[in-house]
Chain A
């Protein structure tokens, strides 16, 4: 009920076709910057970052004709706000078989906001291996950074106020593809 209310009040800023288009563009940018995608490993941050990483991998395969390893990186146990909330359920960490040592790891997330999730992801990567380089791809950059972190590939820059929330819905999880911009609810859940 609450979610439905939010979704009917919120304004879509990216539709399904836009999302497909920006992911294609990001895939091309990755190939261009990495000069091919020979050593690229995509790691999605659960939940929706994982689906975006899988979509990007499919697009990279179309472009380069070679399979790009894709995995997921749960950052829950590396969060710096663990003690401010009840313990969170853990999501899946799945590192592709060949590992990440010496590879170009592209972290994939849906929304870039404070930057704390990405900081935690960098810590988590540290414990898993030593990539050649780490880059960041996000569907939406909504600003308000609290740490010196910047995305390498951005689907859409979305200037927001702190009173607003950005919600990404993806077909794999939510049944449809869209990015919604809405007013912040007083109850928890809308904001990450």
Chain B
């Protein structure tokens, strides 16, 4: 496996399956009375969040603490970044403190890649979402949820998602979740279909390894999982669709639409859900909606990523070498 986790596209099929299998074992820890492992004792992980995200940050924090890492939370608000400090200076400060891993969330696409490859810092870099680019741990936890529900918890071990048909609906243009999912699901052998209004599809979508459709109703009956994406109004700088009501009528998932899905099919949502727009309360609260399960699985996946990137000797050894010089 690579040293950093920057993009879901960097993962090979074997890496991804290994990660999912490891997460399955990590999930068992959550069922214990003492949800703690000594695996990362003495390692320091910084959660470097330049963009607000309570959900992802506490998920990483829970994973780090369950593995006994020392956790430092760094939010841009009220920090030196608001005084004008650059990413480079922040990175060098962290390096000087002997940080072993940096979990970074940044509004600019490519910031984690820059951090990992610029030589500013020697720590393992884990992308927790960058701009509209990638959110690999989200894709992994989605794939984990799909494998558990569609293949089985124990039966899924060692298996990928070959032949499963996954539909992603909504704001593909602004969605790093969609990008990461298309990459990872393709690697895992699933057939992905994107459904969105043409205005919410990015340029160059033809080169993505997936199908594109504009009509949700005809796609639903042949989907094993339907993932609704949040309409990211905060990233929208123009009118991408006439009205919310219009969007909801064409691309929102309601009870009638859910009934068109095969019986085994699941509804997914990366959260936060905007009830009434992309998903109705009826669907969000149904047994088929895995939104809450995805949150639980997120901790297991992040534990697996941290263990596989940080549990062994590679990053630690390179640190020792620097100190010895």
Contact = CB atoms under 8 A, between A and B. Distances in A.
Contact of A82 (B21, B34, B312): B312
Given A93-B25, A128-B32, A78 B313 contact: no
Interface string B287-311: 0000000000000000000011101
Given A78-B38, A85-B312, A127 B32 contact: yes
A89 B313 contact: no
Contacts of B22: 89-90
A77 B34 contact: no
Nearest to B308: A87
Contacts of A91: 25
A148 interface: no
Contact of B36 (A82, A84, A88, A127): A127
A127 B25 contact: no
Given A89-B18, A90-B22, A123 B38 contact: yes
A77 B37 contact: yes
Contact of A83 (B28, B36, B316): B316
B219 interface: no
A129 B39 contact: no
A84 B313 contact: yes
Nearest to B68: A77
Residue of A77, A78, A91 with most chain B CB atoms under a 10 A cut-off: A77
Interface string A173-184: 000000000000
A61 to B, nearest CB: 24
Nearest to A86: B312
Given A78-B37, A127-B34, A90 B312 contact: no
A21 to B, nearest CB: 34
Interface in A111-140: 123, 127-129
B316 A129 contact: no
Contacts of A92: 25
A30 to B, nearest CB: 26
Interface in A150-192: none
Contacts of B33: 128-129
A87 B312 contact: yes
Nearest to B320: A83
B311 A87 contact: yes
Contacts of B25: 74, 90-93
Interface size grouping (class) on chain A? 10 to 19
A123 B37 CA distance: 10
A129 B32 CA distance: 9
Interface string A70-111: 000010011000111111111111000000000000000000
A77 B307 contact: yes
Nearest to A92: B25
B52 interface: no
Contacts of B34: 127-128
Contacts of A89: 18, 21-22
B32 A86 contact: no
A91 B316 CA distance: 23
Nearest to A126: B34
Give the residue among A89, A90, A91, A127 with the most B Cβ atoms within 10 A: A90
A82 B307 CA distance: 10
A46 B32 CA distance: 19
B314 interface: yes
A77 B38 contact: yes
Contacts of B21: 89-90
A139 to B, nearest CB: 25
A89 B308 CA distance: 9
Interface in B195-237: none
A139 B135 CA distance: 48
B38 A85 contact: no
A18 B33 CA distance: 40
Nearest to B37: A77
Interface string B5-44: 0000000000000100110011010001110111100000
A87 B316 contact: no
Interface in A33-88: 74, 77-78, 82-88
A102 B208 CA distance: 57
Nearest to B307: A87
12 contacts: A77-B307, A78-B38, A78-B39, A83-B316, A84-B313, A86-B312, A89-B22, A90-B26, A93-B25, A93-B28, A123-B38, A127-B36
Which 3 pairs show the lowest CB-CB distances between chains A and B? A87-B312, A87-B311, A90-B25
Given A84-B313, A87-B308, A92-B25, 7 more contacts: A74-B25, A82-B311, A82-B312, A88-B312, A90-B21, A90-B26, A127-B37
